[in-house]
């Protein structure tokens, strides 16, 4: 094999492809402009005002997104078989206790349903008791304190009337009643304050329904309460063999009779569900404080048993039509 020829490699000194004098960087004017811009560049300001990239925007939106927690249902009437349980569907409850045919008994004076979505329901303390449930669950000690102090206020009002009658002996009853108005109003104010102090503030809109319609109306009410469209709770009177033709009472509760906005909200929702007719008679709202004190429509204290009427919030359609006609007549003149 013939010997290989050696190749002489000459070392060449490395030189930049582009020298400072190259026109690649632009002419002297261009280079001066960019050098000036570089000297004047405020890096801190640029970072502060730099628009977010798509990745940064996505991360920001994810950080701001609130975690949706599952709703925790609460039933203050759990364990009370005269009420809907969370373990049964609404349909199962309605089939188990249809008010038209479910008989009233000592253990079941009412059929109940509670709003499971409202946080305020946790304020109701469902204490075990052997007595049948007549009113929404609550702090029995506070309720007893309200009843004791409230009855004392009514006793004072009765004593005051006896005193006024003695002082106005010979006067007609109407004159004595007018003289008692200021004392009655003061007693009512104190009862309301006592109710707020003891948290005895629940109240209810009352519907009187024909027996043949009670199942259908109760279904609408129960669905509204169960789906958080109506108030805190609702109850309906079961069938009474001794009162087969009497209207059945349905009560739709609110948490605070002094919260007129909420009282009106529930009323308007009842109207939207077709539960009240503004062409017919008004319905009335009564606070449980009066119920606990035995203040009925014929009480001896001359205290109005109902706090509100539906006409206090919703103008009857007939009156509204007359109002619109007067407006139209005035506009013509």
> Does residue 182 fall inside a structural domain?
no
pLDDT of 37 reads: 79
Confidence of residue 244 (pLDDT cuts 50, 70, 90): confident
> Does residue 13 fall inside a structural domain?
no
pLDDT of 138 > 70? The answer is no
> Does residue 274 fall inside a structural domain?
yes
Which domain range does residue 293 map to? 90-139+199-318
Of 203, 202, 205, nearest to 284 by C-alpha is 205
Of 19, 309, 254, nearest to 124 by C-alpha is 254
> What percentage of the chain reaches a pLDDT higher than 70?
78
pLDDT of 270 > 80? The answer is yes
pLDDT of 198 > 70? The answer is yes
> Does residue 233 fall inside a structural domain?
yes
Total domains in the fold of the chain: 1
Confidence of residue 185 (pLDDT cuts 50, 70, 90): very high
Confidence of residue 3 (pLDDT cuts 50, 70, 90): low
pLDDT of 174 > 50? The answer is yes
> Does residue 104 fall inside a structural domain?
yes
Question: Length of the chain, please?
Answer: 333
CA distance 314 to 205: 14
What's the rounded mean pLDDT across residues 81-90? Answer: 95
> Does residue 41 fall inside a structural domain?
no
Among 44-58, 81-95, 211-225, 247-261, which stretch is predicted with the lowest mean pLDDT? 44-58
Here the CATH number for the domain that contains residue 251 is 3.30.760.10
pLDDT of 223 reads: 96
Does an H or E element contain 209, and which?
Answer: strand 203-209
> Does residue 6 fall inside a structural domain?
no
> Does residue 166 fall inside a structural domain?
no
Among 152-161, 243-252, 312-321, which stretch is predicted with the lowest mean pLDDT? 312-321
pTM: 0.70
pLDDT of 261 > 80? The answer is yes
Confidence of residue 332 (pLDDT cuts 50, 70, 90): very low
pLDDT of 222 reads: 97
pLDDT of 325 reads: 47
**203-209 and 233-236 beta bridge pairing:** unpaired
C-alpha 191, offset from chain centre: 24
């Amino acid at each position: 094999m013939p010997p290989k020829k050696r190749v002489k490699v000459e070392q060449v000194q490395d030189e930049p492809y582009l020298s400072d004098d190259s026109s690649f960087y632009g002419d002297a004017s261009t280079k001066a402009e960019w050098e000036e811009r570089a000297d004047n560049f405020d890096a801190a300001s640029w970072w502060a005002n730099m628009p977010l990239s798509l990745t940064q925007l996505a991360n920001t939106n994810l950080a701001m997104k609130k975690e949706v927690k599952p709703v925790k249902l609460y039933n203050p009437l759990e364990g009370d078989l005269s009420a809907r349980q969370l373990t049964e569907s609404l349909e199962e409850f309605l089939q188990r206790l249809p008010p038209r045919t479910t008989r009233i008994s000592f253990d079941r004076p009412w059929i109940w349903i509670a709003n499971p979505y409202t946080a305020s329901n946790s304020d109701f303390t469902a204490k075990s008791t052997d007595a049948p449930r007549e009113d929404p669950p609550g702090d029995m000690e506070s309720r007893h304190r309200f009843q004791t102090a409230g009855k004392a206020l009514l006793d004072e009002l009765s004593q005051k009337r006896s005193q006024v009658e003695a002082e106005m002996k010979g006067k007609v009853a109407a004159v004595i009643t007018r003289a008692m108005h200021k004392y009655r109003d003061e007693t009512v104010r104190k009862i309301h304050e006592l109710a707020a102090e003891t948290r005895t503030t629940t109240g209810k809109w009352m519907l009187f329904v024909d027996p043949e319609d009670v199942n259908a109306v109760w279904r609408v009410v129960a669905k509204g309460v169960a789906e958080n469209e109506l108030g805190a709770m609702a109850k309906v009177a079961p069938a009474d063999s001794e009162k087969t033709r009497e209207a059945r009472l349905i009560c739709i509760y609110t948490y605070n009779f002094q919260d007129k906005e909420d009282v009106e909200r529930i009323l308007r929702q009842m109207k939207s569900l077709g539960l009240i007719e503004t062409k017919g008679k008004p319905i009335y709202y009564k606070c449980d404080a009066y119920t606990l004190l035995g203040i009925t429509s014929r009480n001896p204290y001359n205290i109005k048993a109902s706090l509100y009427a539906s006409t206090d919030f919703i103008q009857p359609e007939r009156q509204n039509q007359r109002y619109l006609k007067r407006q139209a007549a005035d506009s013509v003149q």
